[in-house]
Amino acid sequence: SRSLNLAVIPGDGIGQEVVAEGLKVLSAVLPQDVKLETKEFDFGARRYHATGETLTDADVDALKKHDAILLGAIGDPSVPSGVLERGFLLKLRFLFDHHVNLRPSKLLPGVATPLAGEPSIDFIVVREGTEGPYTGNGGTIRKGTEHEVATEVSVNTAFGVERVVRDAFARAQARPRKKLALIHKNNVLTFAGHLWTNVFNKVAEEFPDVTTEYMHVDAATIYLVTQPERFDVIVTDNLFGDIITDLAAAVSGGIGVAASGNINPSGDFPSMFEPVHGSAPDIAGQGKADPTATVLSVALLLRHLGYDAEAARIDEAVSADLAERTGKPARSTSEIGDALAVRVAG
């Protein structure tokens, strides 16, 4: 009999509520012979306030022992900006070498979009997850004085860029339209931009059936609202990926349905799956959060572990559920989770 050994990090705010529904749907969809074992971790604001810890070496060792990680949300206004982000979220992405940050955007039938007309949106963003301006390189001198200077260093390596570009080409090749766009700002950030562009063009030679284009990040935001159907697969740097995936989520149904995977394709460390939304403390504990993004993150998790049929059942259940929402009264977090669990089981 098979087993799925899952680390669960509910985290802060609505994290608890949405993760509970994610697990509900996961249990419902898994084949009988798969033994699901979950271990919950208490990372986040409460633990930080209680112990001052964000992620210890022992935590990292414990997390390593799992097949994958499901995360709700980390972050609370009571913690200074950057502490949990750098001390937990980014630390984990770097330690576990989550270099493929995968974020699909699909506008499903019946889902509202802020865009006029009926745009057809179905693309995935492959965001680099371990380099760029996210490395924490940089510093501050003369802090707090009128002569303060603060720097941030974006670090980009041929190794790091090539592996994520290669991953994106493979994903593009496996999709019907076989299109890949590189998004950067190579006319201004010429050092990093030329590295990205050269590596992209070199790898492109190995994928002659993939149609490529290059786009500056500023122009890309225009296309995302005026011609989102233009995109199939996008590959981009860590910071540009952060920005455009929030915009992509907004135009394709909102962050209530935006899923993401922090993937280490080598399998050396567990990959982590999480909704794109944050901890939303303003609505926490009220049963108002939409667990759909977490449930879709569970589908990404299953696909990553080879449970393709089960992942597809979740995607179908979510599509069907969303298609029936229009005009109905709002449901609670657990009502949505229940409905999805019934659909995937049925």
Contact stretch for a copy of itself (CB under 8 A) within 17-25, 40-48, 213-221, 265-273: 213-221
Is residue 7 within 8 A of residue 69, CB to CB? The reply is: yes
Enumerate residues 6+ apart whose C-beta is below 8 A from 47: 53, 54
d(CA 32, CA 171): 31
Contact stretch for ligand IPM (CB under 6 A) within 44-52, 84-92, 149-157, 249-257: 84-92
Residue 161, both tokens: 């860029």
Convert residues 177-216 into a mask of x (bound to ligand IPM by CB under 6 A) and - (unbound).
----------xx----------------------------
Q: Using CA atoms in the order 72, 78, 83, 88, what is the torsion angle rounded to 10 degrees?
A: -20
Q: Residue 285, annotated ligand binder?
A: yes
Question: Quick count: other Cβ atoms within 10 Å of Cβ 213?
Answer: 12
d(CA 272, CA 99): 11
Q: Residue 315, annotated ligand binder?
A: no
Q: What would you report as the CA-atom Rg of the chain, rounded to the nearest whole angstrom? A: 20
d(CA 298, CA 76): 24
Which H helix or E strand runs over 35? strand 34-40
One residue of 237, 242, 290, 321 binding ligand IPM per CB under 6 A: 242
Is residue 309 within 8 A of residue 31, CB to CB? The reply is: no
Which 120-159 residues touch ligand IPM, going by CB under 6 A? Answer: none
> Distances in Å between the alpha carbon of 276 and those of 142, 217, 234, 236, 295?
36, 20, 17, 17, 12
Judged by CB under 6 A, does residue 223 bind ligand IPM?
Answer: no
- Active-site residue list: 134, 185, 218, 242, 246
Which 142-161 residues touch a copy of itself, going by CB under 8 A? Answer: 142, 144-159
- How far apart are CB 242 and ligand IPM at their closest, in Å? 4
250, interface contact from a copy of itself, ligand IPM, none, CB < 5-8 Å by kind: a copy of itself
One residue of 85, 122, 162, 338 binding ligand IPM per CB under 6 A: 85
Residue ranges in contact with a copy of itself by CB under 8 A: 75, 81-82, 85-86, 90, 113-117, 133-134, 136-140, 142, 144-159, 162, 185-195, 197-198, 217-219, 221-222, 225-226, 239, 242-247, 249-251, 254-255
* Sequence ranges of the binding site for substrate: 93, 103, 127, 218
Known binding-site residues for NAD(+) equal 278-290
